Amino acid sequence: MKILLIGEYSRLHNSLKEGLIKNGHKVVLVGSGDGFKNYPVDINIGSQILNNKLLLFITKSINKISGINLIHLEIALRFYAILHKLKEFDIVQLINENSIKTNPTLEIWLLKKLINQNKKLFLLSCGTDYTSVKYAFDKKLRYSILTPLHNNSTLKKHYKPILKYITKPFFKLHTFLFENIEGVISSDLDYHIPLKNHPKYLGLIPNPVNTEQLNNTIINSLNKINIFHGINSMNYIKKGNVFFEDALAIIQKKYPNKINITSIENTPYNDYIKSYNNAHIFLDQVYAYDQGYNALEAMAKGKVVFTGAEKEWLEYYNLEENSIAINALPNADKIAEKLEWLILNPEKIIEISKNARNFIEKEHNHSKIATKYLNTWKVGL
């Protein structure tokens, strides 16, 4: 089959592409590289304005005065310019509801053209979208990425990139998509739960991880426990990084001679993926029920990951608590307790790290996951 993947912000589509190619299919990936992360794409539609300080300053000024976003216009034009290359694909899959990354009106206009010249359109729910944000906004989860906002309304400006999905323009985009897609696929339980019983929902397919490109870097030497904390400043609040920083302060004070802490911020993907090779423990995110892509890649490298590993996830995969990953709750003291448990029981680090690698190979193998996508797309057809 000929498959077109639109958008990338975690490496999900890259790994899926590699799995699909391994299964004998032709794949083209279109995207922006997602800013500083700089993910590889076949056709790049990212804004060039963002790379020019003077143009960016002028663009922000125009946006402030007139409300016109030149970056959205530029991306739309760049996508329009390549539309002639995006024809006669059997499958088109969007990474999320704003996969082109322009404004909703232009996105709908471009998607109409894309739909008219290809066969079938599918949608992924693997990040913020109308369904997941509305579900969280209505407090239907025990906690969510919106919990900090629910607890402190002054954080609203930090949540604009998330709350936009429940505004009228983005709801219109959401409605248009669900009228035109064959179906929607979730990548983990955080998106599966809000989509349950939706007539267009095709089910959960776990994130594909290419373990062939991720060497197992389990470190048996535990003279000092290396703890890694990577931060994306744009997601600082919704990932719950403050709880990790507070927990690390507690542990640093209590066990200064037993641990090394490495913290980095806003690092390009190719550098980031290498930056935690020597880590034993990887701090990922708090407000989650399942693992996102960063956590899965760290688990593939044999790290003990503090992330979403809630009871729903344990039940789904029939696992025991603390056997594969550590469930990170929005509570610095509880995170510090679990860090202390690992520091005082270093044999558990080796055990969990091996289990984590085996879990990724079993449940997230990119080639097997690609086959699941192929079968699901056929059902959608």
User: How does DSSP assign 204-249, residue by residue?
Assistant: E-PPPB-GGGS--------SSEEEEEEE-GGGTTTTTHHHHHHHHH
CA distance 150 to 84: 45
Q: For residue 191, what are its two tokens?
A: 């998106």
Domains 2-208+366-380 and 212-363 alike in fold? yes
Query: Using alpha carbons only, what angle is made at residue 272 by residues 270 and 277, rounded to the nearest 5 degrees?
Result: 105
**Tell me, what's the pLDDT at 380?**
53
**Domain spans of the chain, in order of start:** 2-208+366-380, 212-363
Does pLDDT of 67 surpass 80? yes
**Tell me, what's the pLDDT at 311?**
96
When pLDDT is averaged across residues 193-205 and rounded to a whole number, the result is 97
Question: Domain 2-208+366-380 belongs to what architecture?
Answer: 3-Layer(aba) Sandwich (3.40)
Domain 212-363 fold: Rossmann fold (3.40.50)
Does pLDDT of 381 surpass 70? no
**Tell me, what's the pLDDT at 38?**
86
Name the pTM for this structure: 0.93
CA distance 107 to 279: 41
Per the prediction, the chain carries an average pLDDT of 94
- DSSP structural state of residue 183: E
- DSSP structural state of residue 158: G
Does pLDDT of 309 surpass 70? yes
**Tell me, what's the pLDDT at 379?**
67
